[in-house]
Amino acid sequence: MSKLEDDLVSTGQQITQAQDDLTVAEEKEHQQYEDMKKRIKYMYEEGNSTAIETLVSAENFSDLLNKAEYVQNVHSYDRKQLQEYIDTKQQIADLKAQLEEDQANLESMQSDYEAEQTTLSNTLESKKEEVADLDEQLQAAVAAAEAKRQAEEAAKAAKAAESTKSHSTVASTSNSGSQTVGNTTNNNGNNNTTVTPSAPSTPSTPSTPTVTPDTSNNNSSSNNGGSTYGNGSAILSAAAAYLGVPYVWGGTSLTEGADCSGFVQSVYANFGVSLPRTSYEQQNAGTEVSYADAQPGDLICYGGHVAIYMGNGQIVHASNSQDGIKISNDATYRTIVSVRRLV
């Protein structure tokens, strides 16, 4: 584009110079024409005497030489003037031809220049549209990212609120449950049965929450091996003491970390109940009952997992490496293989 502009400027300058030269040549041609007209007029007025006549009229030899020189000078002058006039006319013709050619080139280059300007303008408009489209896409991406961030924050807040609600429920209901395994009278009026657990190891976690289990299904007695209200409450209180302890695969420590079966085994060991080590083996421990009859303290067994039932559809368990020991609000969040009653 820059070269074409330079060519246009150069050609324009050439045309300007050619026009100036043509003007000078035309003025010169006009002056020569006027001079020739005067010469012809003079020759007409003075008579058209020939060079021979001029020479013959010489009075002596010296006059003859002078007249001969004069005739020669006049003849040379006339020929010179005529040739200059012819040359000037040819110069004018050449200048006009050159000017026409330069003007044609200028028009061609002007057309090329305009075409390139149009192409460049179209390209610029196209790029502007692309930039505008990219800007819209960028703004949409920023808006989407912001919406995703807000959604994630809302989900985290909801999860935190749900967790706080769960812990608040456990803490509020635990105050109505007994910290010590009390004497419980069954519905048939039997004497109270007291279970005294061995002293559990002291966890490194904060204060121990206690849980009040659901007693709606506490219709079984100690005679049929059913878990009593007092037994379930004590077990749940002990289990809830370890909320937040890390999940460690293969672990059995209630303070350093445990997996699901290790957690259950260690909790029940504090109450004198010996359980197998793995969740698969624990599926056969105690007595099987239906989930509809599940009571606090029963084991909820899944495929490859085990938890302690809290009542009201809740379980406490060593969930996973992310959450550790936690309370979940839906015991049926996965397929239940068996419900086992141990005390």
By annotation, the residues acting in catalysis are 260, 305, 317
Query: Do 240 and 174 meet the contact criterion of CB atoms below 8 Å apart?
Result: yes
If we measure between CA atoms, which residue out of 276, 198, 277 comes closest to residue 238? 198
Please measure the distance between the N-terminal and C-terminal CA atoms of the chain and give it in whole angstroms: 95
The vertex-317 CA angle with 325 and 274, nearest 5°, equals: 115
Contacts of 180 (CB under 8 A, 6+ apart): 234
Whats the size of the chain, residue-wise?
Answer: 343
Query: Do 343 and 229 meet the contact criterion of CB atoms below 8 Å apart?
Result: no
Q: How many CB atoms lie within 10 A of CB 240?
A: 22
Residue with tokens 């002078």: 66
Residue with tokens 């408009």: 125
Handedness of CA 151, 154, 155, 156 (dihedral sign): positive
User: In the chain, which ranges are continuous DSSP H helix?
Assistant: 2-46, 51-56, 61-174, 229-240, 260-269, 279-282
Query: Do 94 and 24 meet the contact criterion of CB atoms below 8 Å apart?
Result: no
